[in-house]
Chain A
Amino acid sequence: DIQMTQSPASLSASVGDRVTITCQASQDIRNRLNWFQQKPGQPPKLLIYHASSLETGVPSRFSGSGSGTDFTFTIASLQPEDFATYYCQQYDNLLRFTFGPGTKVDIK
């Protein structure tokens, strides 16, 4: 099974800050990596698919990059509504899905 790690587990940031989260896969997953945002009491929301493609309707301050085993998620300028937990999620060539443990972004 492919394991996903994320770092940091949590971070504190201010409005306007640039925020970067990393996700690492235990083996090469090419670009089979998606990013989600989850707020308390809500389901996850898809932000980025194929490692770097912005989902329709998602603000352009969100971006993703990487391929293989190492991926990065960036919020260019943190907004008040962006305080949430962020998850990466991979799928392998047998279409089995694994989520990362999450990164909680809270207010500094």
Chain B
Amino acid sequence: QLQLQESGPGLVKPSETLSLTCTVFGGSISSSSYYWGWIRQSPGKGLEWIGSISYTENTYYNPSLKSRVTLSVDTSKNQFSLKLISVTAADTAVFYCARQRVWGQAFDIWGQGTRVIVSS
């Protein structure tokens, strides 16, 4: 049973960089059948897709966040990561990682989410 788990700091200061990692358990990240995505959820903006990456490091991003986001993948660790620079309070959210099925482009398996607060 594939599982995803987010990890990273729960508190980030304004103007700093938010860094999160998603570890994939019970299966390999190195599959051409899937992309790996990040989605966040905040009371003000609902569910917002951040970006997705393949194990070959093909990436695509939400245009509204593209200038601040970098996704990366480490197949040796079965992990993929998110970096969001220059954060503000508006970036406070629960961040989810998810498996994205290429066929149907559906986020079919999600991590439990990690809450990140941006505050000094």
Q: Report the interface size class on chain B.
A: 20 to 34
CA distance A72 to B37 in the complex (A): 26
Choice from B60, B107, B110, B112 contacting A95 with Cβ under 8 Å: B60
23 contacts between A and B (CB under 8 A): A1-B63, A32-B105, A34-B104, A43-B113, A44-B96, A44-B107, A49-B101, A49-B106, A49-B108, A53-B104, A55-B106, A87-B46, A87-B47, A89-B107, A95-B52, A95-B105, A96-B49, A96-B60, A96-B62, A96-B63, A97-B49, A99-B49, A102-B46
Other than A46-B106, A49-B104, give 16 A-B pairs with Cβ distance below 8 A: A34-B106, A43-B98, A43-B110, A43-B112, A43-B113, A44-B107, A45-B110, A89-B107, A91-B105, A95-B52, A95-B60, A96-B62, A96-B63, A97-B62, A97-B105, A101-B46
Could you tell me the distance in whole angstroms from the C-beta of B107 to the nearest C-beta in chain A?
6
Residue B111 CB within 8 A of the other chain: yes
Residues of A within 8 A of B105 (CB): 32, 34, 91, 95, 97
Which residues of chain B in 76-119 are interfacial with respect to chain A, using CB atoms and an 8 Å cutoff?
96, 98, 101, 104-108, 110-113
Q: Report the interface size class on chain A.
A: 20 to 34
The chain A residue sitting closest to B37, CB to CB, is A97
Residues of A within 8 A of B62 (CB): 96-97
**What 0/1 readout, one digit per residue, does chain B (18-35) give for beta carbons within 8 Å of chain A?**
000000000000000000
Residues of chain A having any CB pair with chain B under 8 Å = 1, 32, 34, 36, 42-46, 49-50, 53, 55, 87, 89, 91, 94-99, 101-102
Residues of chain B having any CB pair with chain A under 8 Å = 37, 39, 46-49, 52, 60, 62-63, 96, 98, 101, 104-108, 110-113
Residues of B within 8 A of A91 (CB): 105
CA distance A35 to B52 in the complex (A): 19
Residues of B within 8 A of A50 (CB): 104
Complex contact A99–B48 (CB within 8 A): yes
Residues of A within 8 A of B52 (CB): 95
Could you tell me the distance in whole angstroms from the C-beta of A14 to the nearest C-beta in chain B?
27
